Amino acid sequence: MTDKTKKLEISQSELDLIANALETQTKILNMQASAGGHGALAKLNEVKRLLATVSSQADKPRARRPETNGLWGLLRSIGEAT
């Protein structure tokens, strides 16, 4: 990553969308790192730092997505049903 910064104007909903995508990427990289994926841990740390930066610059605290939504919630509910 470069040390160069650029100011962007984005809406709160766009900022939330970016943060949600980074949370999903964090989950994926966690799985890859735990499976021994080369470079996944370094990338995971970068994504976590970026997520912290995005979250700290939000106008209001973001509500975390309910765990019952999306693929993770579906997989979790299937696992509980068996």
pLDDT tens column, 10-51: 888 898 899 999 999 999 999 999 998 889 999 999 999 999
Report the pLDDT value the prediction gives residue 70, as an integer from 0 to 100.
62
What is the average per-residue pLDDT within 64-81?
A: 59
- Give the residue among 17, 21, 18, 42 at the shortest CA–CA distance from 32: 42
DSSP secondary structure string for all residues of 10-64: --HHHHHHHHHHHHHHHHHHHHHHHTT-TTHHHHHHHHHHHHHHHHHTSSSPPPP
Cut 0.75: pTM above it: no
